[in-house]
Amino acid sequence: MDGPDVGWYLIVAAILFGTGALGVMLRRSPLIVLLSLEIMLNAANLTLIAFARQQGNLDGQIFALTVMAVAAAEVAIGLGLIVAMARRRVPLDVDQASALRG
């Protein structure tokens, strides 16, 4: 098997996931939150592909494609929401969108 050891891929994936998670937890702009989500999904994809390669099994790669499709759909909705918020002049700040407080 060529290329770096699977451990390296996992490290990169962990860094990406951590970056994404921190982005979701710390940033207030919905656009950035959405971007961070995508980073997390891609970290997961990277993991899937790395393991698929290591195992010599294509299931993981197929699953990564599915994740991408879901991510695309999710981004379409998320961006749609953000555009709708902007049009209605709702402040683009996730902390202020707290109408569901118990």
* 28 near another protein, rule: CB under 8 A: yes
* 79 near another protein, rule: CB under 8 A: no
- We find the least distance from the C-beta atom of residue 102 to another protein, in angstroms, to be 3
Q: What is the dihedral of CA 7, 57, 69, 37, to 10 degrees?
A: -20
* 97 near another protein, rule: CB under 8 A: yes
Q: Indicate which single residue of 21, 49, 52, 67 sits in contact with another protein (rule: CB under 8 A).
A: 21
Q: Yes or no: say if 46 and 9 are a contact pair by the CB < 8 Å rule.
A: yes
* 75 near another protein, rule: CB under 8 A: no
Long-range own/partner contacts, residues 17-26 (CB < 8 A, 24 or more apart): 17/43, 17/44
In the chain, the N- to C-terminal Cα span, in Å, equals: 54
- We find the least distance from the C-beta atom of residue 52 to another protein, in angstroms, to be 22
**Which residues of the shown chain bind another protein in the complex (CB under 8 A)?**
21, 24-26, 28, 33, 94-95, 97-102
